[in-house]
Amino acid sequence: MASTTIMKSIGILIASFIFGMVLLYIVFTGTKEKRKQQLDIILSYTIQFVLYIWLGKIIASLDLFIQDPIAVLAYPGDSTAFYLATGFTLLHIFIQHKRGKINEELLMEGFVPVFFATSFFYGFLQITVEDHSFQLYFVWIVILCITTLLLYQHHWSWQRSSIFMMIWSMGAFAISLNKGYVVILGFLLHPIYFIVLMLFFGTYTWMKRRAEVKEMV
């Protein structure tokens, strides 16, 4: 019974991600080559994020992993694994950027619409299929999805992506203050997580703008 529930949750998460990827391909107005590049890079980093969640599970439950590895790896990670995976992924992107092996602007432009669409579809399936109660975060993500889709039809950029991630983080932070957490894609995330993300994307935007100004001078 427990394994069936886990498989069902994983199936919903995968279906939601596919929905987000397909929506990006349909809505994006760039060239076919650019769309393919975005989908490839998003898929690549999503797979890496999942692997980092497994690594995070091992680190968070090292004693249990040594005794019974299957017990740790067979079940979805908790919030600690998600935090570690986020940190590992951002560090990975930073290293790849320093080595000149990633176009983070292309990643940012595609990631935000996919993330919002995935979160929306996941929340929708949780309500309709899993019979979960209606959550305020779902309303927030619907608003962001609609706004993103409207803006994406005209012009989208890494600046808007970064700003929208800051706005999303602020909203999620405010919502999380009610219960001390907010559930995102099945993970219970603490308010501090969103503060860290706000600072990260704020710093990223400032540094990118500063670099662009220097190039123009």
Q: pTM to 2 decimals?
A: 0.86
**Spatial separation of the C-alpha atoms in residues 205 and 211, rounded to whole Å:** 10
Residue with token string 């969103």: 194
pLDDT at 205: 82
Angle of helix 158-179 relative to helix 104-128, nearest 10 degrees, comes to 40
pLDDT grade, residue 138 (50/70/90)? very high
Longest dimension (CA), the chain: 64
pLDDT at 168: 94
**Spatial separation of the C-alpha atoms in residues 59 and 63, rounded to whole Å:** 9
217: Cβ–Cβ under 8 A, 6 or more apart, which residues? none
3-state secondary structure of 187: strand
pLDDT grade, residue 194 (50/70/90)? very high
Tell me whether strands 187-189 and 182-184 are parallel, antiparallel or unpaired.
antiparallel
pLDDT at 104: 77
**pLDDT over 90 (residue 98):** no
3-state secondary structure of 131: coil
pLDDT at 179: 87
**pLDDT over 60 (residue 217):** no
Question: For the residues 70-94, what does the mean pLDDT come to?
Answer: 81
Average pLDDT, the chain: 83
pLDDT at 166: 92
pLDDT of 150-187, one tens digit each?
A: 877 666 677 778 888 999 999 999 999 988 899 898 88
Q: Considering only residues 60 and 174, tell me which one the structure prediction assigns the higher pLDDT.
A: 174
Residue with token string 């099945």: 186
pLDDT at 128: 86
**Spatial separation of the C-alpha atoms in residues 51 and 160, rounded to whole Å:** 28
